[in-house]
Amino acid sequence: MKEIKIYNTLKVVAASNETEFLVDAMSYADEIAEAVAEYDDGDLAKYADARNGDSYYKKLKRIHVSVEIYNHELYGVANCTVADDWNETDTEQLKSYLTGQWADGFGEGLEQQDVAAFTELESYEEYDEENDEFYESECEVSYYVTVSFWQDKNYRILTEKELKG
């Protein structure tokens, strides 16, 4: 048996009822790591099966999901235990399987979980018709932070060698 790691980019979003925006994943690294650890059931390998003649799944023994910081960036990580005869074709098939998990399986479920929350005081202008003037008002807005292991733009899935050289 041997261990391999497959990394993927993360998308972290703060959203309220009216708006959403990207936030720096590193700002929530601890919360994301905790949420992933709580959500991971310990083995994504058990859901892998043959698709279009894929054979990797027979050599795939275990997948544990986590996050890891590399070069000041937070990545999702599939920590995989595989058979000794694992090869590059198996790795490409595994990447395809994991992309599906990040988009529709594990990743979609995790995306439904808030990893953090914060409240900001926001200002806005209102118009007072009676006095014919604008005035500034403030309100608290609550934001909920979520993490996505898959995204439609700038998604990358990489072996440890591809990421770290």
Q: Is residue 136 part of a domain?
A: yes
Range of 133's domain? 2-159
**DSSP string covering 3-29:** EEEEEE--EEEEE-SS-EEE--GGGGH
Q: Is residue 164 part of a domain?
A: no
Q: Is residue 67 part of a domain?
A: yes
- Counted domains in the chain: 1
Continuous H helices in 53-146: 56-59, 88-104, 106-111
Closest CA to 115 of 1, 12, 3: 12
Q: Is residue 165 part of a domain?
A: no
For the entire predicted model, the pTM comes to 0.85
pLDDT tens digit at each of 165 positions of the chain: 999 999 999 999 999 988 899 999 999 999 999 999 998 877 899 888 877 677 888 999 999 999 999 999 999 999 999 999 999 999 999 999 999 999 988 888 899 989 999 988 877 777 888 888 887 778 888 999 999 999 999 999 999 999 998
Q: Is residue 45 part of a domain?
A: yes
d(CA 113, CA 28) in angstroms, rounded, equals: 14
Q: Is residue 41 part of a domain?
A: yes
Q: Is residue 25 part of a domain?
A: yes
Q: Is residue 129 part of a domain?
A: yes
